[in-house]
Amino acid sequence: MDFVNAIILLLNYIFVPALAYGSQLALGAIFVTLIYGILRFANFATGDMMSFGTMFVILFTWYFQSVGISLGVFPTALLAIPFAVIFMVGYMLIIDKFVFKYYRIKKSPPVQLAMVSIGVMFVTQAVVRIIIGPSDRRFFDGEKFLIKAGEFKEMTGLNEGLAIKSTQVITIIVTLILVSTLFWFLNKTKTGKSMRAYSDNEDLALLSGIDPKKIVMTTWVIAGILATIGGALYGLDKSFKPFTYFNNMLPIFAAAIVGGIGNPFGAFLGGYVIAFSEILLTYAYKKFFMYVLPESMEPDGLIQLLSTDYKFAVSFSILVIVLLYRPSGIFKGKVL
């Protein structure tokens, strides 16, 4: 019985949260990796673009709430996402037209484009803060838990409860649907294949008659969808705060690089690698050992490898190790 308790404990505190967090990171990482692979620059505006999309999700959620539309047990935000995506994609296309296009046509070095993306970061941050303000916002409504800890205990008669938040389930399901659609699109459709060809070898792709304008536009559309949904899921699960979104850029970058930058599947898995290692290394295992070990061997301390303050340090250390031993990431991306 103790063993089952220990498993439930790990599920509750490590597996489920890491899976949800990893999905959110994965969406962001695919966003980074697509931009890097096709437009060929590191987008430092990632976090702020995500917060821009989430802002529209929140605005639409408020609007729907004020007119009394809701999805019952599901959060209203799910209904708001498609509308927000439209605005987000529009914003990205405008930015591309007025900012990035010039440097792309001039074939500027990637470093210059990265600098430009910092300008975009400042502007986006300002717009988000001017429209919705810098404060912490929760926009979740509907049923909060799928399984409550108390109910689970009653149902199974175990000591440990397993609480699954509905946002976690929504996050995982939406991510799986979105990512499988994306991979289907990239691998099976003509546009997707031409995108991969363009990413692989630009000149060859142009020679075989691929229209770069169409590729770039599709990339921004996909990026807009990923950024909005990734941001909205993170905001639903935790809360929306522009500053946190800006900071999320770091683990997202780490995930994209660990997975092999330019490789969407690698970025997807990289998100989970980062999330699981962050949570596994900063979790206090005391209770787990109390269940597993006999009473005489119970540990005194918290058995925590690293304090939770060092989350970023974990993702960075993984990055360093990966780069030292496999500079192209776990799943061969472009060599950096």
Partner 1 sequence: MRKNLNVIAAYSIMMGLIILVGIFQSWNVALSIFNLCLISAVMTMGANIQWGYAGLINFGIMGFTALGGLAAVLISVDPVQEAWSAGGYNILFSLFLIIAMVLAVRYILKNYKKSKNRTYIVAAIIILGIIIIRFISEPGIEAIEDVEPAKTGFLGGLGLPIIFSWVVGAFFAGGLAFVIGKVALGLRADYLAIATLLISEIVIAIIKHEDWLTRGVKNVIGLKRPAPYEVNLQQTDWFINLVEKYNSNKLNLFTDLTERQAALNQLVIEGSSVFVKLCYSGLFLVVVIILLILTQKALYSPWGRMMRAIRDNEEAANAMGKNVVKQHLLIFVLGSAIVGIAGAMLVTQDGLFTPGSYRPLRYTFLIWVMVIVGGSGNNFGAILGGFVVWFLWIEAAPIGLYLVNLTTAGLDDTHFLKVHLIESVPYFRFLLMGVGLLIIMRYRPKGILPEKIEIK
User: What Cα–Cα distance (Å) separates residue 62 from each residue in 66, 179, 223?
Assistant: 6, 28, 24
247 by DSSP, 3-state: which? helix
240 by DSSP, 3-state: which?
strand
Pattern 187-226, binding to partner 1, x per CB under 8 A? ----------------------------------------
Residue 246 makes contact with partner 1 by CB under 8 A: yes
- The yes or no reply on residue 255 touching partner 1 (CB under 8 A) is no
Q: Is 303 in the site for partner 1 (CB under 8 A)?
A: no
295 interacts with partner 1 by CB under 8 A: no
Q: Hey, which residues between 134 and 163 contact partner 1 (CB under 8 A)?
A: 134
CA–CA dist 37, 26 (Å, integer):
16
Please name which of 51, 38, 49 lies closest in space to residue 104, comparing C-alpha atoms: 38
Please list the alpha-helical segments (H only) found in the chain.
2-10, 16-34, 46-67, 77-95, 101-105, 110-132, 149-156, 166-188, 190-200, 202-207, 212-237, 242-259, 264-282, 286-292, 311-325
Nearer to partner 1, 102 or 184 (CB): 102
Q: Are 37 and 267 in contact (CB under 8 A)?
A: no
Output the furthest CA–CA distance in the chain (Å, rounded): 73
331 is a contact residue toward partner 1 (CB under 8 A): no
Considering the complex, what minimum distance in angstroms separates the CB of residue 171 from partner 1? 25
- Whichever of 156 and 317 has its CB closer to partner 1, that residue is 317
User: How far, in whole angstroms, is CA 51 from its chain's centroid?
Assistant: 12
Give 276-281 contacts, CB < 8 A, sequence gap 24+. Answer: 276/14, 276/18, 276/22, 277/314, 277/315, 277/318, 278/18, 278/21, 278/251, 278/311, 278/314, 278/315, 279/14, 279/17, 279/18, 279/21, 280/14, 280/18, 281/305, 281/306, 281/314
Is 232 within 8 Å of 54 (Cβ atoms)? Answer: yes
List the one residue from 69, 86, 126, 293 that touches partner 1 (CB under 8 A).
Answer: 126
- What's the length of the chain? 336
* One of 67, 105, 130, 297 touching partner 1 (CB under 8 A): 130
Among 15, 65, 70, 129, binds partner 1 (CB under 8 A): 129
Given the structure tokens 């199974």, which residue do they identify?
A: 156
Total residues binding partner 1 (CB under 8 A)? 45
Q: In the structure encoding, which two tokens stand for residue 174, read together?
A: 């939406």
Residue from 7, 14, 59, 123 binding partner 1 (CB under 8 A): 123
Least gap, CB of 253 to partner 1 (angstroms): 5
Interface positions, 82-101, toward partner 1 (CB under 8 A): 99
CB of 42 to partner 1, least distance (A): 4
- Minimum gap (Å) between residue 211 Cβ and partner 1: 25
Q: Which of 139, 315, 322, 330 binds partner 1 (CB under 8 A)?
A: 315
122 is a site residue for partner 1 (CB under 8 A) = yes
Q: Examine residue 168 and tell whether it contacts partner 1 (CB under 8 A).
A: no
Residue type, 120: V
Contact between 299 and partner 1 per CB under 8 A = no
Cβ proximity to partner 1: between 155 and 336 the closer is: 336
Site string for partner 1, 29-48 (x = CB under 8 A): ------------xx-x----
The residue ranges that bind partner 1 (CB under 8 A) are: 41-42, 44, 99, 102, 109-112, 114-116, 118-127, 129-130, 133-134, 246-247, 250, 253-254, 257, 307, 309-310, 312-313, 315-316, 319-320, 323-324, 327, 336
